Amino acid sequence: MKQLFFAFSLTLIIQATSGQDRIMKIDSLLTDMHANNTLNGNILIAEKGNVIYKKSFGFANEATKQKLNENSIFELASCSKQFTAMAIMMLKEKGKLNLEDPISKFIPELANYKNITVRNLLNHTSGLPDYMELMDSLYDKSKIATNKDIIVLFNQVKPKVLFDPNVKYEYSNTGYAFLASIIEKASGQTYGDFLKSHIFKPLKMTNSFVYTRRFAPKKIDNYAFGYIYSDSLKKYELPDSLTETSMVIWLDGIVGDGCVNSTVNDLLKWDRALYSNQLISNEGMNELFQVATLNDKSKTNYGFGWGIEENPDFGKITSHSGGWPGYVTYIDRHISNDKTIIILQNHENVSIPVKSIRNILYNKPLPQKKIRTEIKLPIEQLKSYVGIYEIVKDIELKIMLDNGQLFTQLTGQKAFPIFAENELLFFLKVVDAQLQFEKNDKNEIEKVYLLQNGNKTMAKRVQK
């Protein structure tokens, strides 16, 4: 869930003369998005460390109408993983751990997973099942869970791995939660204190910290609260008040896979440090940004806390997205050309215009929206797709039929119409995404796959 959301990539086309400045184009794009309620947050863009664009759009607090500013503090969601990975590498260079150490060396309760190493956790090749799904069915939600609660549950239930270590890549929040516990065991400090003393303080990231707002509340000035738009109430609400996003309360004490909070200004300091050896050696930095090699010698597209891309137009890019009810974040670092895009948003029904910003920065045409041909299907056939499709526990994709039109809705988001390309393939018009349905042996719809931004996410039908 900390990664999963409709990561909207708008295909707005700005008609501009050839002499129009890139900054004007970017500002026009983002201002238009904000006016259309598809952007609410802070954007910072830098080249060689020099800020060329920085602007705030919208409110930090919907109740008081406090506006966002450049020092507003956002929950980073899965963009937190890069800090967890750096902490592990720092401990490695201090001789406190090795990447090939079994995780049970630091967490004896996980002895059942003796073949899984620290490295497997870092690059998502562990095969560990999702802790959120497990806790949704087995955990007492009247208590706010911590990392220790995940460990206790895995020790008690001993859920089977999804695959043997290093056989395949599968994104895992579980792995990064366990990494936070390993950091604490190896360093003798809490996860938050280690990041503060070894990363945030040395880099003068004065507005960055680990924060669990419900588990350990405190007053934070200039905090950007995360909101979800409630269709029933017709207004933006904190996810705490909505049943479908109640996990923000009972999962709030878990760190490592999320819960780092920061600002666009602090994240630029972090970006600059990653071009130096201020935190770890040059060898360590190279390993951090090296993709994993699986047992069959194939390569993944993930290093340690970063997605890695060799882009034919933009060179080597390291990036990461984050999504958690109320927050959508993205950090895009163009290593070959030293360009940085930082996007922190505190509304969930928003877009991530990274592709458009990239193209403007490199003076390339904005990405064109793919032209898809819609076909009409009989109403009885449309009814056959209706149902609830489960991605993981508490995260569902609903398919609904209203007045002859099919709609899809992801947990915590608005419903959007979908249109048939053929009998099993549908598309959205508000975003470049498709839904691919799959039938079973009885010729009944059994699964649906969300296809977007090169990713394929499966949801299994659990209710018609």
Beta strands 425-428; 433-439: pairing state: antiparallel
Cα–Cα distance, 429 to 266 (Å, whole number): 36
> What residues contact residue 346 under an 8 Å CB cut-off, 6+ apart?
40, 41, 58, 60, 68, 74, 224, 225, 226, 227, 326, 327
Residue type, 135: M
**Distance separating alpha carbons of residues 82 and 288, to the nearest angstrom:** 9
Identify the CA nearest to 123 among candidates 294, 273, 249, 276: 294
Distance CA 422, CA 327 (A): 34
Active site residue 232: no
- Beta-strand ranges (E) seen in 8-96 are 41-47, 50-57, 59-61, 66-67, 74-75
Distance between CA atoms of residues 293 and 302, nearest Å: 10
Residue type, 355: K
Cβ atoms of 431 and 8 within 8 Å: the answer is yes
Residue linked to tokens 């409110």: 59
Amino acid at 140: D
CA-wise closest residue to 399 among 371, 440, 347, 436: 436
Candidate list 9, 56, 72, 78, residue with the active-site label? 78
Q: Which residues are catalytic?
A: 78
